[in-house]
């Protein structure tokens, strides 16, 4: 039985080993270049963009902030750059952006939650990590952060960050009982509870232990049917309270 060999095959076999290797390498380069160019075409543009985790922000705004659209090439878009753009938005604490089959871009965001409103005219919302979230209607019920005012001789005005962080360390039930957090010029904090005691918190440090101390004392007062006038958790291992006569 005869074997037929095409002319290109005969020509290829007639070349030296080194030349055949060069031809193969050139072919691989051409194929790779073709695949590269094909991957850059609109055939790989996003057909679907999914957004999860957005509650305050609208999904359309999340997509716009990420810088992606139906023209975004799923194979070549920069996921890290999209995440950086999203995390520059104050309401977004963390973003995860990825390409998925088939031709889908997935955006998952974790939003910050406001824990207080800054007193003093602006009414700006503050997240639990101290990030300013801007102004928004419907802030009723949130604790207020009242900053001590400083004269030029007294130095830098107080910051709301420490107060926001201690509110962020509280469980929602306790935080909802806080009417106001006052930031003193020395950086210490004082809490005013709704219908309850005034709490000397001290510095924002050791927040979890101090919050736990507040909860223990309030639970004790509830069990004993006692009313607390003042409470100090400056030393959380030894809280001090005065009772209403």
pLDDT tens digits along 75-111: 778 889 999 999 999 999 999 998 877 788 899 999 9
More confident position, 41 or 145? 145
In this structure, the answer to whether residues 96 and 135 fall within a common structural domain is no
Count Cβ atoms within 10 A of the Cβ of residue 203 and give its class: 0-12 exposed, 13-18 middle, 19 or more buried. middle
In a domain, 10, yes or no: no
In this structure, the answer to whether residues 210 and 128 fall within a common structural domain is yes
pLDDT tens digits, one per residue of 168-214: 999 999 999 999 999 988 889 999 999 878 999 999 999 999 999 99
- The answer on pLDDT for 134 being more than 50 is yes
**Where in the sequence is the domain holding 47, given as residue range(s)?**
43-111
In this structure, the answer to whether residues 217 and 148 fall within a common structural domain is yes
Q: In this predicted structure, what is the pLDDT of residue 70?
A: 83
In this structure, the answer to whether residues 122 and 238 fall within a common structural domain is yes
Whether 110 contacts 94, CB under 8 Å: yes
In a domain, 7, yes or no: no
In this structure, the answer to whether residues 180 and 76 fall within a common structural domain is no
Tokens 């736990």 belong to 212
In a domain, 69, yes or no: yes
In a domain, 36, yes or no: no
Angle at 159 between CA 157 and CA 164, to 5 degrees: 160
Confidence band (pLDDT; 50, 70, 90) for 141?
confident
Number of folded domains that form the chain = 2
Whether 50 contacts 107, CB under 8 Å: yes
In this structure, the answer to whether residues 131 and 93 fall within a common structural domain is no
In this structure, the answer to whether residues 99 and 118 fall within a common structural domain is no
In a domain, 79, yes or no: yes
Query: Taking the complete model, does pTM exceed 0.75, yes or no?
Result: no
In this structure, the answer to whether residues 228 and 135 fall within a common structural domain is yes
How many angstroms separate the Cα of 51 from the Cα of each of 48, 55, 66, 86, 95?
10, 10, 11, 12, 10
């Amino acid at each position: 039985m005869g074997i037929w060999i095409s002319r290109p095959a005969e020509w290829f076999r007639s070349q030296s080993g080194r030349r055949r290797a060069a031809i193969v390498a050139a072919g691989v380069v051409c194929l790779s270049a073709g695949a590269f160019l094909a991957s850059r075409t609109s055939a790989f543009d996003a057909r679907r963009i999914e957004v999860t985790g957005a509650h305050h922000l609208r999904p359309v705004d999340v997509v716009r902030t990420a810088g992606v659209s139906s023209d975004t090439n799923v194979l070549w878009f920069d996921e890290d750059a999209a995440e950086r753009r999203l995390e520059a938005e104050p309401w977004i604490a963390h973003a995860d952006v990825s390409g998925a089959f088939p031709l889908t871009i997935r955006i998952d965001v974790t939003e910050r939650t406001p824990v207080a409103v800054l007193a003093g005219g602006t009414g700006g919302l503050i997240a639990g990590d101290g990030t300013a979230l801007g102004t928004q209607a419907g802030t009723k019920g949130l604790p207020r952060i009242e900053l001590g005012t400083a004269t030029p001789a007294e130095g830098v005005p107080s910051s709301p960050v420490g107060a926001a962080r201690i509110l962020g360390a509280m469980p929602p039930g306790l935080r909802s009982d806080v009417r106001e957090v006052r930031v003193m010029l020395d950086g210490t904090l004082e809490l005013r509870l709704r219908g309850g005691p005034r709490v000397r918190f001290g510095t924002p440090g050791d927040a979890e232990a101090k919050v736990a101390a507040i909860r223990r004392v309030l639970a004790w007062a509830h069990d004993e049917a006692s009313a607390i006038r003042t409470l100090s958790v400056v030393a959380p291992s030894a809280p001090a309270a005065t009772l209403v006569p």
